[in-house]
Amino acid sequence: MGLELPKYPEMEEDQVFNFTDSEIVSHVKQALASVLSGDNNSYNQLVGVMHHSKHLAPDEVALLETTLKALAGAVSSIDITHHDSLLSAIFCMSMWNYGPHVADALAELIVSLAISNGKYLDLCLGMLVSNFTPPPYFLDKLKMPHGLERKGKVLSRVHAAFKKIADYVPLAPLRLLTIVLQGMPTIYHKDRAIVIYVENMLKLESGEIGELVGSTILMAVVDRLIELDVEIGWDAILQDDFSKGIFEMELEDVDDIEESAEPDVGEFRLSRKSLAGNSIAELLDNLLVLTFEHLESCEREGRLAKVFETLLQSFRVTVLSAYKSKFAQFVMFYACALDPENCGMRFATMLADLFVQDSQPQPTRMSAVSYLASYLSRAKFLAASSISSMLKGLVDWCLEYCEAHDADINPNAHRVFYSGCQAIMYVLCFRMKVFVDVPRLKSELLIPLEQVLKHKLNPLKVCLPSVVEEFLRQAKAASLFTVCKTFIFDGLLESELSRAFGGLERLDTFFPFDPCLLKKCDSFIRPMFVFWSMVKPAYDDAFDDDDDDDGSSDDDLVQDFVNENEDIMNDEFGKSFDEQGVDMDEFDYALKKMSITPKATSNYKFGGRFQEPARMPSRIRPSTSPESL
Amino acid sequence: MEGLSVADANLVMYLHPSKSRNVSQSILRELGSLLFKFNETFDGVLLAYDVNILDKQAKILSGVHPYFGLRLKANLLLFSPKPDMLLEGKVVKLSQESIHVIVLGFSSAIITAENIRGEFKYRTKDTEELFASKSHKRHVIKVGTMIRFLVKSFDEEILHIIGSLISAHTGSIRWLDRHLEEDSEFDRSSMKSRDREWLGDKTVDEGATPMSYDNHIKMSKKRRITE
């Protein structure tokens, strides 16, 4: 094959030469060898070509491409000490700056260099890893179509190069792993390089060398998520308004909040607004979305079960031990939602096992049961049988504990026990309807539960008052059992006793799967999430008889709505989240158009004819009287 | 193939107190972390191990963290290639400039054009690249061939070997084994020492094949068996 070379100084100006590939390679080899004897001219020219990278004319591009290809053939002549300027020029090159041909030639050179000598392997892998992120000027262009296109091309070449190197140097993935982990941008990098870096890491995990490096990479990603999570202080999202109960309000749609003039109510005013400006929250949001999408692709490829094992281990080691993780745990939630029977149950069983193990430290056990309680309450995709079996396990454990410990009330001494009881009550607040409908469950579960609650240890007095109050209200309405003593809480969220058992870490008020405040993340989680507004507490049945005309007209309104949107409703019901073709925004708009009042929602049967739509107008107050509506 | 050895080792392993709950798992994990890495103490790359605990009692070290020391007896499979050893590997990439080989599935080796004896010429046959011997038509090296080569140097960090095909008893294993048997009948007394500096176009004369001492022993053993 002939090639036309543009002018080199030593050639005559008017002549055009055709060279074969091997001639060019030997020319380059000569240039390299001549350095050893002191003649640097041709070598310096070579280095010059490599450095010239911006605003290249077409013939300069061709020259660069030819030089790179020739160097690839001459790698055995490159010496690490004598040719260090050439090497540093090569390693500084970024594939993002060039078109496809030069990028290909560069990738080929790097691969040849890496496999030629052990000394260059780390440097070459490092160079490829540095190509994960574009140069600073390109970062803004990433969102535009031509930027995305360039990104796709560069990344595919980089990952193909990894595969090629791994083919010829089997231990390369190990070295690559170290380099990738060391090169992770910290969360303080202003240029947001971490998002695209993590994208590359996940691509490695799903790529051809994924088997070798995948699990370590996933754990590193989760570590980074927790790091970001920890950076968002609880004070950024909490506002101290302990006067209202937990179940009063749940943030569902930030638009509603902005529209209404009514002042926000609700304890732990989980305000999405205060997170809006927080750049770390935005970063975490983007990374979580990346992870979710990655999990989706794992599920499509059938690898989710294996990936889940790594995630589970990572959760145990990193998330569970982090102090009150805020959002990182939603990775587990989403993974479970993708595969409820296997992964969903696996997660629950792991948490339950941790709880019952005496050898685990107390905070771990209490944390585990808080996660379990929140998970069982909020996971829309869990079957009632799974929830009941988990609950039964908890109740049995609590009963055993009661029988083994014939003691009086003492929050400090029996922290694990009280957190277990609170967990049971919390889950029943959300899932009471399910159990009331099944008589067998009533006897299996509720009789031992009654024994536990009436024991000397007195969990009803120690556990979080708002949870206990809600639970008792529902239990009474469902005629589960009656409590002789009345508990007056005055709508208190917490009491001294609950604080005592919660301890310094305040594990009494830890509900990890409360609605996610990160916007993009939330849109993924919503379809499989149980909002409090969707739960029809047992005591609302009592209000049905008090319907006045307003109520009936609402009924008609509801019926019309139902008729009109029957198809959408039916599509919603029983569909797995990723099959939902329903455009949520469209549906939401239809809902708003009908302006269904909160009261009307109590007519929807929980788990009955149809599932409630995932988005409800907010401000549902299940415990209020009809007048307020 | 040279370079592989089995060693008996008496080891003392110090474990952190948190590992005391499951000692055998911790031992296996510790030893596992040494796999496929060059170890100075063993003077080789650990490929496989078999370990037994000698004593159920372990000595606790005094210090901030009371590590405890376990005495173990282990059987270790080590790989320690030294210069002038003959190794065998599979060719994975072949070009005019170099031959890339993988040894034992984990160690990469490269033989550059300068280290391939002149007997071999680079050819492209039906888009397949290969090195063919000028003197022996059947002696061909291409992708997938198992070859025997000499070690020039060994990078202990990356486990990368630089090899050479200069000596006469390097090349495609299949061809070598078949033909060295025939050659063993010839002059065995002309045992020249291996000359690594052999360059240029010297072709190997069939009659005066220099053989290594090891091969000599092997050959004579073979003959004894067949007789």
At B133, which helix (H) or strand (E)? strand B128-133
Angle subtended at Cα A278 by Cα A272 and Cα A284, rounded to the nearest 5 degrees: 90
Instruction: Say whether pLDDT at A591 is over 90.
Output: no
Q: Which pairing describes strands B160-164 and B107-112: parallel, antiparallel, or unpaired?
A: parallel
Distance CA A223, CA A32 (A): 45
Nearest to A116 among B96, B98, B105 (CB): B98
Q: Is B107 within 8 Å of A170 when comparing Cβ atoms?
A: yes
Spell out the residues 6+ positions from residue A118 whose beta carbon is closer than 8 angstroms to its own. B155, B157, B158, B159, B160
Using the 8-state DSSP alphabet, how is residue A445 labeled? I
Q: Among B45, B108, B115, pick the best mutation site for testing chain A contact (most A Cβ within 10 A).
A: B108
Element housing A436 (H / E): helix A415-436
Mean pLDDT of A472-493: 70
Q: What is the mean pLDDT of residues A379-396?
A: 91
Domain B4-79 has CATH 3.40.50.2300: no
Looking up tokens 């999990």 gives A295
Given a cut of 60, whether residue A567 has pLDDT beyond it is no
CB contact under 8 A, A76 and B92: no
How many cross-chain Cβ pairs, A to B, lie less than 8 Å apart? 55
| Whether the Cβ atoms of residue A556 and residue A575 lie closer than 8 Å to each other | no
Mean per-residue pLDDT over chain A, rounded: 77
Q: Which residues face B44 on adjacent strands?
A: B39
With a threshold of 0.80, does the pTM exceed it?
no
| Cα B68 to Cα B57: distance, rounded to the nearest angstrom | 10
Contact A121 B160 (CB under 8 A): yes
Half-sphere exposure of B110 (CA within 13 A, CB side): 23
The alpha carbon of residue B183 is apart from the nearest alpha carbon of chain A, in Å, by: 34
Contact A115 B110 (CB under 8 A): yes
CB A410 within 8 A of CB A368: no
User: Closest by alpha carbon to A464, among A424, A433, A436?
Assistant: A424
A22 and B96 within 8 Å at the Cβ level: the answer is yes
Record: contact A169-B98, CB cut-off 8 A: no
Give every CB contact of residue B178 below 8 A, 6+ residues apart in sequence. none
Is the pLDDT reported for residue A117 higher than 80? Answer: yes
pLDDT score of A530 more than 60: yes
Alpha helices in B106-212 (DSSP H): 173-183
Lowest pLDDT segment from A48-52, A263-267, A271-275, A496-500: A263-267
Which of A27-36, A598-607, B16-25 is predicted most confidently? Answer: B16-25
Residue B16: what pLDDT?
A: 92
Name which of A218, A110, A220, A216 is nearest A169 in CA terms: A110
* Cα–Cα distance for residue pair B120/B13, rounded to 1 Å: 50
The confidence score (pLDDT) of residue A27 equals 85
pLDDT at A556 over 70: no
The pLDDT tens digits for A275-321 are: 656 788 888 899 999 999 999 999 999 999 999 999 999 999 999 88
B94: which chain A residues are within 8 Å (Cβ-Cβ)? none
The reply to whether residue A170 touches residue B102, judged by beta carbons under 8 angstroms, is yes
pLDDT confidence tier of residue A200, bands split at 50, 70 and 90: very high
Residue found under tokens 């808080």: A370
Q: Give the residue from A47, A54, A67, A53 showing the smallest Cα distance to A5.
A: A67
3-class SS at A81? coil
Which residues share a beta bridge with B79?
A: B4, B45
| Among the listed residues B225, B163, B157, B179, the one whose alpha carbon sits nearest the alpha carbon of residue B3 | B163
Residues of chain A in contact with residue B157, where contact means CB-CB under 8 angstroms, are 118
Q: Is the pLDDT at A32 greater than 70, yes or no?
A: yes
Query: CA angle, corner A140, sides to A135 and A146, nearest 5?
Result: 90
Q: How far is CA B82 from CA A209, B8, B107, B161, B210, in A?
A: 30, 20, 14, 10, 21
Q: Compute the distance between CA of residue A403 and CA of residue A452 in angstroms, rounded to an integer.
A: 9
Partners of residue B95 in chain A, C-beta under 8 Å = 73
Tell me the C-alpha distance between A481 and A459, whole Å.
Answer: 15
Confidence band, pLDDT 50/70/90 cuts, at residue A228: confident
pLDDT at A33: 86
- Third-level CATH fold of B86-175: OB fold (Dihydrolipoamide Acetyltransferase, E2P) (2.40.50)
Cβ distance B108 to A168 less than 8 Å, yes or no, reads: yes
pLDDT tens per residue, range A407-427: 888 888 889 999 999 999 999
Name the helix (H) or strand (E) containing B145.
none
Q: How far is B142 from chain A (nearest CA, A)?
A: 15
H-only helix segments in A37-144: 41-51, 58-73, 84-92, 100-116, 118-130
Q: What is the spatial distance between Cα B98 and Cα B114, in angstroms, rounded to a whole number?
A: 9
Q: Quick one: angle between helices A304-314 and A330-338, nearest 10?
A: 160
DSSP A185: P
DSSP letter, residue A379: B
CB contact under 8 A, B112 and A76: yes
- In tens, the pLDDT along A126-162 reads 999 999 999 888 888 888 888 889 999 999 999 999 9
Least confident of A442-451, A577-586, A605-614: A605-614
Q: What is the pLDDT of residue A15?
A: 43
Q: Would you list the domain boundaries of chain B?
A: 4-79, 86-175
Q: Which candidate, A33, A29, A31, A24, places its Cα nearest to that of A3?
A: A24
Provide the residue type at B221 as one letter.
K
Lookup result for tokens 């009789």: A447
In this prediction, residues A4-30 reach a mean pLDDT of 63
Q: Which of A524, A500, A310 is nearest to A409 (CA)?
A: A500
Query: pLDDT grade, residue A204 (50/70/90)?
Result: very high
What residue spans define the domains of chain A?
21-183
Name every residue whose Cβ is closer than 8 Å to that of residue B220 and which is 6 or more positions away in sequence.
Answer: none
Among chain B, residues having any CB pair with chain A shorter than 8 Å are: 36, 92-93, 95-98, 100, 102, 105-108, 110, 112-114, 155, 157-160, 162
Round the CA-based radius of gyration of chain B to a whole number and report it: 23
Q: What's the CA angle centered on A424, arms A420 and A427, to 5 degrees?
A: 135
Chain A residue numbers touching B36 (CB-CB < 8 A): 171, 174
Q: Which residue of B has its CA nearest to A71?
A: B97
pLDDT at A281: 85
Structure tokens at A452: 């536990």
Contact A375, A315 (CB under 8 A): no
For residue A611, what pLDDT band results from cuts at 50, 70 and 90? very low
Alpha-carbon span A303 to A310, nearest angstrom: 11
Tokens coding B226: 């067949």
Rounded mean pLDDT, A321-327 = 86
Ranges in chain B, pLDDT < 50: 187-227
**pLDDT score for A17:** 59
Cα torsion A404, A406, A408, A412: sign:
negative
Q: What is the DSSP letter of A266?
A: S
Residue A259 has pLDDT above 80, yes or no: no
| pLDDT of A559 higher than 50 | no
Please list the residues that pair with B125 across neighbouring strands.
B128
Residues of A with CB under 8 A from a CB of B: 22, 25, 73-76, 115-119, 121-122, 167-171, 174-175
Residues of B in contact with A121 (CB under 8 A): 158, 160
